[in-house]
Amino acid sequence: MGRSKKKISAEHTSRLARIELPPSQIPVVQSELESLLDFVGRIEQLDLDSVEPFFGIAIDANPMRTDRQETSCDRTDTLRNAPQTDGESFLVPPVFGKQES
């Protein structure tokens, strides 16, 4: 397993994660992330080509539910933790782009 040449970019990653980093913080975070990646990167060198990954869940049953309607929540409850609503919908700053699907 070859080590990737490309290094983490704190700036790009923070955009992907939607976490704004003030410019002064970028180099700090950059070096923190680099040292953490350096530490976790020790597993990169292991030759594990023949090993099946384990995602941590070993359930034999097929857990599924019946297509039967359950009572939905009261809208007042649904909305009550939101920063901005009109009593029916959640409100966000205007969206002009197009959505993905």
Partner 1 sequence: MSVKATIIVGLEVHVQLATETKLFCGCATAFGASPNTQTCPVCIGAPGALPVLNRKALKLAIKTGLALNCEIEPNTHWDRKNYFYPDLPKGYQISQFDRPICRKGYLDLIDPQSVSSGRRVNIERAHLEEDAGKSSHDETMQGGPTKIDFNRAGTPLLEIVTQPDLRSGHEAKTFLNELKLILSSLKVSDCNMQEGSLRVDANVNLSLATQEGNQATPIVEIKNLNSFRSVERAIEFEAERQLQQWNKDGMTIDQAPKQTRGWDDSKGHTVLQRIKEDSADYRYFPDPDLVVIRTTQADIESIQAEIKSLPAERRQILMSRYLLPAYDADVLVNQGDTFVDFFETVADQVKDGKLVSNWLQQELLRHLNATQTDIQACPVNANQFVDFLTHIQTNQLDSSRAKDVFEQMMSDSVSVEQAMKSLGIENLDSEELTAICQRVLDENPEIIAQILKGNTKAIGNLIGKTKSLNKNVSPSQAREQILKMLPKH
Partner 2 sequence: MDLSSFNACQLLDALESQQLSAEDCVRFFLKQIANQNATLNAFYTVVEESAMASAKSVDQRRKKGLPVGPLAGLPIAVKDGICTHNVRTTAGSPMLENYVPFYNATVVERLWEADAILIGKTSMDEFGMGSSTENPHFGGTLNPWDHQRVPGGSSGGSAAAIAAGMAPIALGSDTGGSIRQPAAFCGITGLKPTYGRVSRYGLIAYASSLEQIGPMAKTVEDTALLLSSCAGHDPRDSTSATEPSEDYRAGINRPIEGFRIGVCRDHLENGLSVEITSALKQAIDIFESAGAQIVDIELPNSSNAVAAYYVIAPCEASANLSRYDGVRYTERAPTDNLDQMYSKTRADFFGDEVQRRILLGTFALSSGYYDQYYLQASKVRRLIQQDFETAFNGVDLILGPTTPTTAFKINQCRQDPLSMYLADVYTVSANLAGLPALSLNCGFDPSGLPIGMQLQGPRFKESSLLRAGHLFQSQTDFHNRRPA
Residues that bind partner 1 (CB under 8 A): 16, 18, 55-57, 59, 62-73, 75, 78-79, 84, 86, 88-101
Q: Which is nearer to partner 2, 27 or 37 (CB)?
A: 37
d(CA 76, CA 11): 39
- Please compute Rg for the chain using Cα positions: 22
d(CA 33, CA 40): 10
Residues in the chain: 101
Q: With CB cut-offs between 5 and 8 Å by kind, which of partner 1, partner 2, none does residue 23 bind?
A: none
Q: Which of 7, 5, 1, 2 is nearest to 35 (CA)?
A: 7
Q: Which is nearer to partner 1, 24 or 100 (CB)?
A: 100
Q: Enumerate binding residues for partner 2 (CB under 8 A).
A: 1, 4, 6, 8, 10, 13-21, 29, 32-33, 35-37, 39-44, 46, 48, 51-61, 63, 65, 73-74, 77-78, 80-84, 90, 92-95
